[in-house]
A = this chain, B = another copy of it.
Amino acid sequence: MKSRISPVAASELITRAFQQNGVRPTPQRYFVLEHLLCHPEHATADELWASINKRHAKASRATVYNTLNALVGAGLVKEFALDGKAARYDANLEAHHHFVCDVCNTVEDVEWFDIPLPAAHDVRSLEVVFRGVCAKCK
């Protein structure tokens, strides 16, 4: 869940994930996915852009967005959009819910539990978002 993978451990994972999902490996894509795997804080596109340009290669904002769309399309990353604010991205593929702090806007994963599905609809996916005040902001 909060699996903060080390960059070394991530390396092989990423290479394999790209191969298995037909995603052409580029440095930009590598570093985007690496960051998401190693930092469970649900980064925004802009945070990813800043992080990559600080440490590694250069990547334009447009490329970060392209990359994220490619990774989401390949099923390697999930997008989590909240209320007009910038979308957040998550490489945690295990099913889980979310908790959003009303004060600092950080997002935490919440362990999955089943909820009843409305019989009247053809439900393919669902999302549960809890809101409140996180431990740090109390």
A121 on the interface (CB 8 Å rule)? yes
Among candidates B81, B110, B116, residue contacting A82 with C-beta atoms closer than 8 Å:
B81
Give how many A residues have a beta carbon under 8 Å from the other chain's beta carbons.
32
The residue on B at minimum CB distance from A97 is B118
Most chain B beta carbons < 10 A, residue from A117, A121, A123: A121
A contact patch SS: strand
Q: A131 to B125, Cβ gap below 8 A?
A: yes
For the complex with contacts A81-B83, A113-B116, A121-B130, 19 further pairs of A-B residues with Cβ separation under 8 Å are: A79-B83, A81-B81, A81-B84, A83-B87, A97-B118, A99-B121, A110-B118, A111-B118, A115-B128, A118-B130, A122-B134, A123-B131, A123-B132, A124-B131, A124-B132, A125-B132, A126-B130, A127-B129, A128-B128
